[in-house]
Amino acid sequence: MFGVLLELFTGSSGLVWTLLVLVVAYYLWNRHQRLKSLPPGPTPLPLLGNILNLASGDQLETFSKLREKYGDLVTLHVGSFTMVVVNGYDTLRELFVKHGDVTSDRPDLFVFREITKGEGIVSKSGADWKTQRTFALGGLRDFGFGKKSLEGKIMEEVEIFLKILGEKEKQPMHPESHIQISVANIICAILFGKRFEHSDPTFIQLMALINENVSLNGPSGLLNIMPCLRYVPGDPLGCRKVLNNADRIIKFLYSMIDGHQKDYDEENLKDFIDVYLKKINKEGPNTIFTRSELMNTIADIFFAGVETTTTTLLWAILFFLNNPDVQKRCHEEVMKVVGEGRFPSLSDRSQMPYIEATITEILRCGNIAPLGVPHAPSEDIMFHGHLIPKGAMLLPNINSVHSDPLLFPDPSKFNPSRFIDSDGKFSGTEHVISFFFGRRVCMGEALARSELFLFLTSMVQRFQFTPEDPDNIPPIKGTLAATLKPCAYKCRAERRD
């Protein structure tokens, strides 16, 4: 054996073998040095990496324990990804605001790539993302985004929703579907220039497809780590189901675009699609503004605008069921400021500190997007003495802030009064980061806050929400998928005298 090895390294091919061994040795040494430079984390297993750490059940609890052991930066190896979980308010703000110029890209995730082809706003990175986002914000503002002029559209849906509550008065009901369609119609008015009836079968089917994909987000997310799972017989993780549902959602959105192109009038722009079509026509063929970019952009806006606000309102009702004293105090404040003769208005907001505090506490305790949306560095960066490599998945652990007892004493307790100062004013909201910060701050924050205020104040003004069974109040539990959604529950809405 020794003779064979000696021949390999001293014969005519010896130089080639020597160089090969040196190259492999250098690669392994360099990889070892880079791994040593990464933030600390649990030791990865061969082939599996740290996937078992993430398969232990409650991801939020897992990340909390990892933070206790390793600190604010925790490295995990999953599939081909190096994942860095970023914890703590100060660390999150420093990495994504101070270093936002190099930490605002998106990682190359299979599901995003397969569905969006890298287009739209959410999954795009770099200069094209900035261009698309800037244009989209301008187009949305043209139709009321972030402006008081949108209040009328919101209130139209609020009144329809309250009418439905009245028709179902005192009957046990699941509130989700009607809340979701009401919220979706506000986005539809901006994007499509139309609304859909709550009984519209096409729209109900669209919402069902979206809901199914949201519920499958957790298991199908494994596709991002191991894309080969989509070929597993029987589709046990719902991977192919997610992709098929996405195709049907895309067809619906293209049908909206087709209808707008057929009736397009440059002198009469009715909605966001018309504004984008005008941009396409103006730019010509060699442009980043295309039909497919438009489709993916409206998909991003629609999903983000509907899912998060719907989920927040579902948490709101659940917290009211478990905290009737909070619901009572909200009602009293609305009656003091508004009375019975009219609906609440955005102009009333400054006079309702307890309502604002309650909304903020719902956002904190509901923790709608506890792990945010993954970011990626556009280049290798050194941060807190550690290397974070280009393309790594940066996971912002928003839950680490919202559940921090140093920021929020007794964090598991639902207590809106923590946001009321000694003068009775609304304050202390800096550390509630549901809409995140930095370059990827949520585009729809102003709209979402307006929706939450108008829906909640109008709901408690007209109705009292009670459990289906007073002796069996639904627990404050959620399931983590695309968002942290409360477990399904029933309630009753009783009209106030």
User: Which stretches of 148-175 are DSSP H helices?
Assistant: 151-167
Q: Judging by DSSP bridges, how do beta strands 484-486 and 73-78 pair with one another?
A: unpaired
Q: Give the helix/strand (H/E) hosting 393.
A: strand 393-396
Q: Give the helix/strand (H/E) hosting 74.
A: strand 73-78
383: helix, strand or coil: strand
Q: Is the Cα dihedral 403, 407, 411, 413 positive or negative?
A: negative
424: helix, strand or coil: coil
330 is annotated as contributing to ligand binding:
no
Q: Is the Cα dihedral 307, 198, 187, 120 positive or negative?
A: positive
CA nearest neighbour of 366 among 447, 307, 425: 307
168 contacts 279 by C-beta, under 8 angstroms: no
- Alpha-carbon span 98 to 50, nearest angstrom: 29
- Alpha-carbon span 136 to 130, nearest angstrom: 10
Q: Please, which residues have CB within 8 angstroms of residue 136's CB and are 6 or more apart in sequence? A: 121, 272, 297, 301, 443
Look up residue 98 and give its DSSP letter.
Answer: I
Q: Is the Cα dihedral 190, 193, 196, 201 positive or negative?
A: negative
Cα→Cα distances 46→23, 34, 77, 78, 497, Å:
22, 17, 10, 11, 66
365 contacts 322 by C-beta, under 8 angstroms: no
Phi, psi of 250, deg, nearest 5: -60, -40
Residue written as token pair 């287009």: 119
- Alpha-carbon span 231 to 183, nearest angstrom: 36
Look up residue 96 and give its DSSP letter.
Answer: I
Q: Please, which residues have CB within 8 angstroms of residue 14's CB and are 6 or more apart in sequence? A: 7, 8
Chain Cα centroid distance, residue 62: 20
Numbered residues of the known binding site: 442
Numbered residues of the known binding site for heme: 442
